Amino acid sequence: MTTGTLAPPAGGLRTRALWISAAAALLAAALLAGLLVGAAGIGPGEVLLQAADWLPLVSADSGLTPVERNLLWELRLPRVLLAAVVGGLLAVAGAGYQGVFRNPLADPYLLGAAAGAGLTVTVVIVLVGGDAGSAAVPVAAFAGAVGGVLMAYALGATASRTGGGTATLVLAGVAVTSFLTAIQTFVQQLGVEELQRIYAWILGDVGGGWGELRLAAPYAALAAVVMLLHGRMLDVLSVGDDEAVSLGVRAARVRLAVLLAASLATAAAVAVSGLIAFVGIVVPHVVRRLAGGSYRIVLPLSLIGGGAFLVLADAVARTVLAPAELPIGVVTAFVGAPFFVFVLRVTRGTAT
């Protein structure tokens, strides 16, 4: 291979297609499992028949009562779909941040994006009188997410000039997150009557209905498309800016586009589900270990795998303390916190 070219991912298009097909099958299985979880005992066959009956030009008799059909359509189906959308957005955003900053520890929650979005959404709820379903929430969340990342990046860049290591950006993100969270706590005290709703939102919740899905859909679609279209360019950036320039890639423009798309994905997820941590660091790292480091495969697999991961996490949250529900953020933290320690040790080991 001559200098100035990039090697294609191992196995090429066929291997990528196989990985994406396997991930799609995992997501389908997770969605089915999510539809089966609940107090009403509805079997897999009945769920599949009812799902087929919802398809255009298909008629199938599931044998479910009108109440059971309504439960599936109005409660379980939007819940699992929302979990899939939120999980996919958080995972692909994490992969995008890691590509932009060339830092394997980058994550929406460690870079201040989620804290910034959480602060602005809290301001909307408490001071403006909005709610999680209002149109102002995604706009406010996007502004907060971008602001949080820019603050962390500026602080991390300043620290790097004084000799910071590979985790400098993450440490800057932790500092910014702590600062923004402190402001959010202060704002919460200004609206004591909203505290219960805000705390429930902070712990993460994908129990919204079709309204939340419609609210997030346009932002999610735009963010995902932009991210996926920049997979090859992130591969170019991974070998260095000089190499990227020699290949005709405008590094600054690519970074800005991916940064804005990842922040929009984070904002859309936070706006409809609250704060659900660690998805953006767990899923991309698992994908890299299984399918390789090319962003042409990391981004789509993170999008699909993140959806499957959060759907399964929600299923666990609904069953572990049944009939009560465990906040989904607790489940992802239980998995993600030790995983983050593992990633941190591996990163330090390779950096020494």
Instruction: Report the sign of the C-alpha dihedral through residues 305, 306, 307, 308, in that order.
Output: positive
* Conformation bin of residue 161: beta by default, left when phi > 0, alpha when psi is -120 to 50: alpha
Q: What pLDDT score was predicted for residue 352?
A: 43
Domain count, the chain: 1
Q: What pLDDT score was predicted for residue 199?
A: 72
Q: What pLDDT score was predicted for residue 133?
A: 54
Q: Alpha carbon of 67 to those of 55, 70, 74, 175: distances in Å?
A: 19, 5, 10, 49
The enclosing domain of 152 has a CATH number of 1.10.3470.10
On whether residue 156 sits in a domain, the answer given is yes
On whether residue 121 sits in a domain, the answer given is yes
Q: Assess contact for 337 and 278: CB atoms under 8 A.
A: yes
Q: What pLDDT score was predicted for residue 160?
A: 61
On whether residue 42 sits in a domain, the answer given is no
Rounded Cα gap, residues 308 and 26, in angstroms? 7
Q: What pLDDT score was predicted for residue 206?
A: 87
Q: What pLDDT score was predicted for residue 162?
A: 53
- For residue 208, the 8-state DSSP code is -
Instruction: Report the sign of the C-alpha dihedral through residues 97, 277, 73, 214, in that order.
Output: negative
On whether residue 272 sits in a domain, the answer given is yes
Q: What pLDDT score was predicted for residue 287?
A: 95
On whether residue 28 sits in a domain, the answer given is no
On whether residue 59 sits in a domain, the answer given is no
pLDDT, mean of each 10-residue run, the chain (352 residues): 43 85 96 84 82 83 85 91 96 94 84 89 76 70 89 80 61 90 86 69 79 90 96 88 77 89 91 88 93 94 97 93 84 88 70 45
On whether residue 43 sits in a domain, the answer given is no
DSSP letters of 259-306? HHHHHHHHHHHHHHH----SHHHHHHHHHHHHH-S-HHHHHHHHHHHH
On whether residue 64 sits in a domain, the answer given is no
The Cα angle at residue 30 between residues 329 and 273, in degrees rounded to 5: 30
**Can you give the residue range of the structural domain that contains 336?**
12-21+73-351
Q: What pLDDT score was predicted for residue 20?
A: 95
